[in-house]
Structure 1
Amino acid sequence: MRSAGATDKIDIWEHQIDITAARVDFLAKLHAAESWLREWQIPYRVASFLDGPSGGLRICFTEAKFARAFLALHGGRTAPSNKIATMLAANADDEAIHNLLAGAHEE
């Protein structure tokens, strides 16, 4: 059963940007992005992966204006809201989030 509080936490991270980076540039891109986001005090969550010669960053934001500003400066592409990425961005320590993830996996 979904609680309203858990759903609210999930929905706030629905504005997402994907960035692809070569393995050699991956950490530099991640650090540059995080530095800029901290400087401007923009709330965000990052999901990332390395796969062979390249990797990807998914930056999740609480507001569309933050995603647009990030996109204008750092590039990437607007990503459709990914249910699992959004849930993980909300709070990976929250038991309600784990329950929702389990339900999403069963679908």
Structure 2
Amino acid sequence: MSDTQLTVTLSGGDADDARAVVRALEDTFGAADQRPSGEHATVRVATFTGEGREEAGPAGAGTLSAPVTVTVQGTPQAVRRASDTLARSFTARDEGAASGDQEQERQLLLEP
């Protein structure tokens, strides 16, 4: 597993909110391999499996129209980088984490 492999699950908000979150993560991880789809979906998923960037650029993702719950899952390094990026880009509240042998999961609530 690459140290930048990351799965992002988003719920709440609308498709534009999901795109804003993905844009923020693309500043750190490069282009998403899978982008959130479905204008009327209640849960959206994005994946990042590229090499990522050594240093994150400025986080300029935009604003959210409603609270969005984001779950990031991947290697500990990727989850930490994603959490840091989202906390710089949005008002974020840590909702908890779970760790496995080689993978970690963290849930954040992003607020407008």
TM-score > 0.5 by shorter chain: no
Q: TM-score, normalised by structure 1?
A: 0.33
Considering fraction of residues, name the structure with more helix: 1
Q: TM-score, normalised by structure 2?
A: 0.32
Considering fraction of residues, name the structure with more strand: 2
